[in-house]
Structures are given as structure tokens and as C-alpha cells.
Chains A and B, each alone.
Chain A
Amino acid sequence: MNKKRLILGATGLNNTDNPGPGIPVIRSIRESGRYDLRVIGLAYETLEPGIYMRDLVDKVYQVPYPSEGSDVLMERIAYIQEREGIEVLIPNFDAELFTFMKAENKLKDLGIRTFLPTIQQFEERHKSNLEAFGKKYGVKVPKSKPLTNLAEIPKLREAFDYPLMVKGKFYDAYVAYNDEQVQMHYNKISAKWGLPVIIQEFVRGTEVNVIALGDGKGKTIGAVPMRKQYITDKGKAWGGITLDNSDMLALTDKIIRGTKWRGGMELELIRTPENDLYVIEINPRIPAWVYLAVGAGQNLPVALVELALGNDVPPFTSYETGKVFVRYSWDMIIDLKDFEAISTKGEI
């Protein structure tokens, strides 16, 4: 059988100790064997390990950070598109999603299809809007408050008990036990991710996660719950196990049905000792542990590609419980000329 030709673009090649989902997404699509695949990696930094994984990524272009402006990024994408003819692009960074969502029509004009959440879906699930999200969709969420200046910190005691969580709008989360610690984390987070910094009630319990894919019409195409078994000091899963938990799946369905979620999603949940599930974050993209879902029987990246191509995708009906992933680190040896190429020419 002739395989369908697919030219795929993907970001998030930073397969570091705080990994982007790009490499596991590419690996999932490549290993499906479904496509005659050419992968175009888009990298922000010259030492993103995925740049040098030549068995997974065929060609890599360096792209400017979205913070440098949407026009600069789109100009670079147009240059790449002229040479490569990308058919489907999967952006994998929270910080770049807004830019790519805004540029959806421009990308379409270039012949590049995406399958991303709508701006409304993206905005209303923001950590700073989580309380309103909980009310609107009838899900439990921790109390939260966006902070935009240090003077608000002493007043936090009126509304919150310590400890509480201090979070960046895209990444980073720290527990704080007093005002001084809030201030320290506020300064660190705001310098890195900007404002607001989000204060969130600390919900005691076990952190569990769900990876899911919504078809944009209210249907869940796939969902796999997971519990992190080994967590790095950055809070990232370095090992995890798939769960058989109907409550988590029902909550995922409720959110996808209510929001008519379009695209990949990661739900970060806390299960309390009373077995209540609190939504602490909704990440609007496929998470880096996606390969566990693939190993358990749901190749969600392939389903996402098919949705982006406008094809009907039947929902997955099962997955294997008790599948475990264990991440590891691996040293690659690269030639200086490769590093030189990406550093000077911006492509390799």
C-alpha cells in the first residue's frame, strides 16, 4: 500500500529536563508508519536536542521567538514554507500558541494547516481566569487571584491560607509559606514570564493528569489518565503510569463537551483524599508525556494530524491501564559543523 505523503512541521524540540512535546509528537507520528513522512523542525535555540536527532527530524530551521513579533515569525515561516511545503504544523509551546492561533488564516493561505484551540478557548482556561472557567463549566477549581504588583501581597492573607501556590502565566509553580516567599517567587516568575503572576489556593492531594484531544465540536477523540510516579525538581514527570479512572475521564469529557475544545489538551488535576477532582491547570496542547498514551493504544498526535487535514477521526474507545513510561537522558555526539550550521545559517 502506498503511504500518504506528509510534510509535518513541529516546534518544541527542546528535549531537555523540562521537555517540550515536539520530539515525542514527531516520534509518535513517525512510528505509526502511516505516512511517508518528512519532518521540518522549528527551533528557537541552537542547543535544542531535537535539532540533532536526524532519525526523527529531517530538516531544522531556527525561528525567532514570538516575543520578537508575529510579523517577524510569520516572515520566517513564509521563507521556510517556500522551500519545504509544510502541510500540517503542530506548535508545542504554550508561549507561542497565541501567535499561531492568531495567524491561523495566514498559515492556511500559505498551505499550512493547524488544529489549535480557538482564541476564546485559549483565553478562558488561562490560570488567571480559572475561577470563572470553573463556574462556567461546573468543575471544581482552586481559588485563584492574578497579581500585578508587589503591594498586593500583604493582602493575600485576607483571602488565602498559607501555604499557597505562586504560578507563572505559562510555566513555573512554587509553594509559598509566607509573604516573603511569595515576593521572592513573584520576582523570579515575573522576570521570566511577565505579569500577571497567579496566586492559587493550595489543594492537598495527589496530582494526576489527563492527555486528551477534542474535535472542536464537543467530542473527545481520545483521553488517557496518568499519574506521575517520578517527578523532577522542575515538577516534570520522569516516570508515569496510565490509570483506569472513570471520574477523570468523565471530567475530561465534561470539559471538552462544554468548551467544544479543539486540539490537544493536558488537564492537571488534584485528587483530594475525599476523591474530589480539582482542575489546577489546562494546558492547551499535547504534553511531553504523550508517548505514554501512544504506548497505551491511543496515537493522539496521528489523530491530531488527521483532524488538521480535515479527515473524520473515530474516537478511541480504549487504552491499556498500567502502562508505565520511564524517561531517560542520552548524550548525543554532534559535529561542530552541525552546530555551526544552525548557529550561523539558521538551518541544518
Chain B
Amino acid sequence: MSKRLTHLAAAATIALAASGAGHAQEPITVGVQVPTTGSEATYGVDMKNAIQIAVDEINADGGLLGRQVEILVGDSACDPQQSVNAASKLASADVAGVVGGYCSGATLPTLKTYGDANIPFVITAANSTKLIPANPGNAFMINSTGYDQVRKAVDFFKSQGAKTLAIVDQGDAYSQDLANLTAKEWKKAGLEVTVQETVSKGEQSFSSLVTKIRSEGADAVFWTAYYADGGLLIRQLRQGGYQGIIAVGDGSNSPKLFEIAGRAADGVYCFSNPIAEFLPEAKQFIESYGNKYKGRSPGPYSTLSYDGMKLLGWAIEKAGSTDPDAVIDALASADGEAWLTGPISFTDKNTLARSNFIILKGEQGGWTLHSK
């Protein structure tokens, strides 16, 4: 009897060991949802690269739970339909979690996809406040939300002595949300919004809008959408003789803005999430990025994306498995875990518990830190 039991136990141990060994060879797949094509592809590829660097570091340290990590990219193209396709692809590939999410408009519908599949989702860039009520509980936003940016923007325009404001957005969830919230806060302060306008994406000519802004009068213009069209608006504002303050939201903090806007971008302000080159902690990261991706600079969302991957890795280790519920619980329990962008902890709505916005100013074809 006892002999048989021992045999059984031995067999079980061997089976367990075998299955354990099998697991050790099978890598953990992490989904990466970023736009790798379309007008926002620059940011998306930067984010993917940053996540790959984080994964390389994790793998060099022995992986997660003793397993190697690999990424699977879903191209959201900054488009709601394409991003849902990308999300379905990642969900059906049985990923242990998803990192990424750029363009709030394209991220919003994927919340449901990942929510239904119960996949932990670390959102590293998208920060529209519309994402907050739509979050089924599995998503965690590690970028400061639109509310933090609105407060920063309104305070800044007031400090510059602006009384009238023109706000231009692109009609997507992110930029419209930021525009509406800013308009609301601005009016609450007893000040006037003279022009609030939505332009269509890919629009080339803003000259008639510029004339409208000049004729209605605005001490400052706030562009809340992305750099590709933002550079164009800045250029045409200056071409059209507008001389007031111009500020752009965090969707426009790419250096590419300067290529498109040219000299017109000098003196433009930008409310930005923490960019690698302004973070002393990110020195090593910038170096490895430059070594691995020759000729590219990390871009604005790469530090957050790197942190997002590290955070997911930390949560999987803490949960001790890739069981979604355990990983989600572990993510929610983050208490000041810090990599490049500062301590990460979450509110009860899974948003970052602090504001991380800084103000940049365009000088000689690049951003410089204006104030923290």
C-alpha cells in the first residue's frame, strides 16, 4: 500500500515537474495595442519600442514566473474600428495582459473588448476622462487624466494674462473632451471663450478658421488634438498674422510638430506628460533606446509605456500567476511602485493618483522645459 502511494506520489511529482518544465518553455505573451500606421504612427512605434526594451530587460532578469515574455502587436491605427479589430486579435491570442492604448477615441471601444475577455489592460497614453466611466475595472490608466491637464492649462493661460480663449479640437474623444472641459473651467473663472471649433482630421487648410479667430479676438489659442494637424494650425496661425499665445495639449508634444510647423512653433507652449529627456531617471533608458533603435528618439509616451510594461510584469510576479483576476487585483494594489515616471498608485477609479503634467516651450526647433 505505502509502496503504491510512494509510486503514485513519485509519478505525480514527475508529471508536475514535466508540466512545470513545459510551462517554463512556453513564453508569456503580452499584447501591445498602439497605432503603427496612420497619422499617429510615430508615437505608436515609439511606444512599442519602449515596451520591447522593458521586455528585454525583464527577460534578461529571468522573465516572469520563470517564463520568457514576448509581445504581440495589434495596430490600432488611432481609429476606433481598427482598434477594435486589433483588440479582438489580441484577446483571441490569449494574452496575459495588454499594454498601450494611444488615442482615447480608439482606446475607448477596446475597453469593452478587453473587459469582456477579462484581460488586464495597462493604458499608458490615452487619458480622456471619457475612459473613466467606461472602464469595466480591468483597465488601469498610468497617464494623468484630462482633468489634470485642464487645471494646468487654465492656470497657465490665466497666469499669462489671457482673458479670451479660442479652443480648437478634432472631434475625437480625447481632444473634444479636453476642449469641452477647458471651456467649462474657463467660463467658470468668469472668462470668455470666443471661438470653440472642431476641425476634421486630415484637413489641410485652416486659413478661414485663422481669420475667424483673428476677427473674434482671442488672447490665446489652445489646440487640444494631435501634432500632425496641430503643426499645420500653428503654421497657418502665424502665416495668417495671429500674434497671441498658442498652446497645445499633450497629444502634440512630438518633435515632429517642429518639422511641420517650422519656425512658427517657436514660442508655442505645450502641456505634456513626462517626457524622457526631461526626466533624470530616464537617462539609462534613452541610452538603451538609442542603441537599439538607431536614429530614433524615444518620443513622448515611451517612458510611460516602459513603466506600463514594468508595472504589468510586477503585477504578474506579485499575483504569482497569469490568472487575470489575480493580476488585476495586484495592479490595483500598486502602492507607489516607481520606474521612470514617478510613483504609481491608483484611485478607486483606476486612474493615476497624482498629476504628472509639465509645461514645455518651443525654442529653436525643439521643446525645452518651461515649468514643472
Do A and B interact?
Answer: no
A residues sitting closer than 8 Å to B (CB atoms) are: none
B residues sitting closer than 8 Å to A (CB atoms) are: none
